[in-house]
Amino acid sequence: MNFAARILHKEASTYQSWLQALLGYAMGGICFILFFDYCVFTRSGQALVQNVKQEIKDCLAEIDFRSFFKPVILMSGVYALGILTIIRANVSYLDDLGRAIQGYRGWYGWSRYLSDFASFFVHGGGNITDISPAPQLLAVFILSVSSVLLTYVIGNGKITVVRLLASLPLGLSPYFLECLSFKIDAPYMALSVLASIVPFLFIARKKAFFFASVVSLLIMCTTYQAASGIYPMIAVMLCFLDWNSRRKTVKEIAIFLGTAAFAFGFAMLIFKFFLMKPADYYTSTAMHSLSGFIPGTLNNIKNYALHLYHDFGFVWKTGIVLVLFFFILQSAYRSGYKKTVSVFVSILVLLIAFSLSNGLYMLLQNPMFLPRALAGFGAFLSVISIYVVSGNKRIAMIAVLALNWSLFIFAFSYGNALADQARYAEFRITLLLRDLNALYPDRNKEDMTIQLENSIDYAPTVKNIAKNYPLIERLLPKRLEGDNCWDNCYFSEYFNYSLFKNSNIPDIMTSEKYIDYNSLNLPVVLNTYYHTIQSDGNRILVTLKH
């Protein structure tokens, strides 16, 4: 019934996308059955399965998991401290507004099937409720495991306190802070990061590594696709570290990189053709055409860099530049090749790894540059920082830890800003609803609608933070903003006031002709310091003042 209802309200182009999705599921099922039959009923398939199982057992046997216990506890405490003000703010962030009231999950529509499935266990059933801070604390634990494993992989099996602290940008980068702001989505976003790191525990065995990579990457794709850049970025960095230290031959490095690239491409093809649902809302799954692939990708990488440049203040830019500079110095100092060659290759690798950290978004025609979509940059900084502090140079350690301390400062400021902005917005909304209630006590009139103009501006404390950290204004959603789809939910559900109709977006859900109330020259019925209300009795235009 749900499928039929959607079809009845969509244009012909949607028929094609739904049919393509159904065909993909059918073909995926057939391929899975054929592969399953091969592994179970053929000798070569059974031998392959046994070989992979043995390699996985061998890899796991070589790891002392008990040595991870204390580091995980340490990092859990550090991450929990980092998001303490976010938890204390207790703000329902974007999607949280709808899910907490209506109880829907909604990840299925974005091909995040594992998130949808896991939510049954996290929330104790199919109906989503606000159980914060439990999901955020679960995300903290997952991130702590991710940091420990990343330190283990990049540090060549050696875990120290300094290296662990150097990995903090993985979860406390300003971009991943948005992921942690979601009371409900946070653990699944964190799981996508962990899934991108786990395969590198099996790097010593080619078949085990390939199998773990494909499975883990599919987990990443079905939890949060914004983490798609972490796996290829780590693979490239490991190749460089092995080459620079001469730990492996060029042939061995080429085989590993080829295996990683093939596993990544294979997993992405499975996801695209058998699992991915086409999306075309605030972002699109459409990729560049063959003729525009290179210029389109380069343009996306440029826009990625520009967003980072405009988001970061002077302190962050200085810290990042210093860390990158020390990475190049460390590479040259610890290189088994000529210094000039090592410097050139290290700069080239930094550019490649930085570009890859944006993941599959750099291949899309309309990529998403919201803060949470840039979480791969935090993983990039973590890998660089872990390597820098591994050289035991005090000045390099100070630079890395200073950068991480600035991330801590911002995390505290951001959480407090969430609370300040929520209080200011609720104050403005309360004033507005009081005036509307006094002017129009019969709010249930069927012919009465309200349109909003402008939005509630940022609180003074937020503007002050933005002087040093411009990104704060992209992280904090404005209430009553024209393109904020959650404001109708915010009014109709949280405040039980269902007359609001967005003045900046036509009502595409009905066939009624859209009329912009600004063009009607409605008489002013109330003018206050915070807003102006114009109305003819049925149509109401509210203009919010900054």
d(CA 191, CA 116) in angstroms, rounded, equals: 13
pLDDT at position 504 is: 44
The Cα–Cα gap between 264 and 491 comes to: 44
Residue 360 phi, psi (nearest 5): -70, -15
Q: Is 421 helix (H, G, I), strand (E, B) or coil?
A: helix
Q: Hey, what amino acid is at 287?
A: M
Q: What's the rounded Cα separation, in Å, for the pair 57 and 110? A: 34
Closest CA to 382 of 234, 177, 264: 234
The answer for residues whose C-beta is within 8 angstroms of residue 457's C-beta and 6 or more apart is 478, 546
Distances 336 to 116, 241, 345, 384, 465 between C-alpha atoms, Å: 48, 11, 13, 19, 45
Rounded distance between C-alpha atoms, residue 320 and residue 176, angstroms:
17
Predicted pLDDT at 501: 56
Q: Which residues, 6+ apart, have CB-to-CB distance to 545 below 8 Å? A: 454, 529, 530, 531, 532
What is the structure's pLDDT at 484? 58
Asked whether 366 and 359 are in contact (CB, 8 A), the reply is no
Q: Are strands 531-535 and 524-527 parallel, antiparallel or unpaired?
A: antiparallel
Give bridge partners of residue 539 from the DSSP assignment: 449
Query: Which of these, 386, 357, 373, 355, lies nearest to 147 by C-alpha position?
Result: 386
Domain boundaries, the chain: 67-392, 415-544
Q: Using alpha carbons, select from 378, 462, 464, 368 the residue that is nearest to residue 423.
A: 462
Do residues 379 and 193 touch, judged by C-beta distance below 8 A?
A: yes
Query: For 354, what's the count of Cα atoms within 13 Å in the CB-facing half-sphere?
Result: 17
Give the integer Cα–Cα distance in Å for 453 and 268.
43
Q: In what order do the strands lie in the sheet with 500-502?
A: 500-502, 449-453, 539-544, 531-535, 524-527
Residue-level pLDDT, tens digit, the chain, 546 residues: 455 545 444 444 455 555 666 676 677 778 778 888 888 888 888 888 899 999 999 999 999 999 999 999 999 999 999 999 999 999 989 888 888 888 888 887 788 899 999 999 998 888 899 999 999 999 999 999 999 999 999 998 999 999 999 999 999 999 999 999 999 999 999 999 999 999 999 999 999 999 999 999 999 999 999 999 999 999 999 999 999 999 899 999 999 999 999 999 999 999 988 888 776 666 667 788 888 889 999 999 999 999 999 999 999 999 999 999 999 999 999 888 899 999 999 999 999 999 999 999 998 888 889 999 999 999 999 999 999 999 878 899 999 999 999 999 999 999 999 999 999 988 998 899 899 889 888 766 667 788 888 888 899 999 999 998 999 999 998 877 755 556 656 666 677 776 565 444 444 334 456 678 888 889 999 999 999 999 988 888 999 998
Cis omega (within 30 of 0) for bond into 133: yes
State whether the Cα torsion 264-219-54-159 is positive or negative: positive
Q: Give yes or no for a contact between 452 and 544, defined as CB atoms under 8 angstroms apart.
A: yes
CA triple 213-216-221, angle to 5 deg: 115
In Å, how far are 83, 145, 260, 389 from 401, measured between CA atoms? Answer: 18, 20, 31, 9
Distance between CA atoms of residues 157 and 525, nearest Å:
70
